[in-house]
């Protein structure tokens, strides 16, 4: 399992000390393991097509079982750059269309 809140590296160091999202994605993609799960929670703003592509690449390995998706559950305490509800819904719809199961938490108005 890995957490990928976004696919945007720029400015990420201002938010977290974790490895950059692109580094975590490459490491996870290269991991030779038959069962993988991605957590996108709390979701941060992302490049739509690129983020969908990351999930599709993992699915092509036949190892991605599902994706956890959700917004920041404590927005009053922690402010993060978030996608619009419409953008988040489009992302969820596109990965579902690619055969990827999505499970949700703190979804706001996003439908799964």
Q: Are 102 and 65 in contact (CB under 8 A)?
A: no
Residue 36 confidence (pLDDT) = 97
pTM across the whole model:
0.94
The alpha carbon dihedral of 26, 22, 71, 95 has a sign of: negative
Q: Where are the domains of the chain?
A: 2-104
Instruction: Give the mean pLDDT per block of 10 residues along the chain (112 residues).
Output: 97 95 97 95 97 97 94 90 97 98 93 94
64: β partners: 36
**Would you state the structure tokens that stand for residue 65, as one six-digit string?**
């079982």
Max Cα separation, the chain?
Answer: 39
Residue 75 confidence (pLDDT) = 84
Residue 62 confidence (pLDDT) = 86
Find all residues with CB under 8 Å of 42, minimum gap 6, and list them: 5, 70, 71, 72, 73, 78, 80, 82, 106
């509800």: which residue's tokens?
Answer: 85
């Amino acid at each position: 399992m890995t957490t990928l809140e976004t696919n945007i590296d720029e400015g990420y160091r201002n938010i977290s000390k974790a490895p950059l999202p692109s580094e975590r994605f490459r490491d996870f993609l290269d991991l030779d393991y038959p069962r993988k799960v991605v957590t996108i929670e709390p979701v941060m703003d992302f490049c739509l097509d690129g983020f969908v592509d990351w999930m599709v690449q993992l699915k092509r390995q036949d190892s991605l079982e599902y994706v956890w998706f959700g917004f920041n559950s404590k927005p009053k305490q922690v402010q993060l750059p978030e996608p619009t509800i419409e953008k988040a819904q489009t992302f969820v719809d596109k990965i579902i269309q690619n055969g990827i199961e999505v499970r949700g938490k703190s979804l706001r108005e996003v439908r799964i």
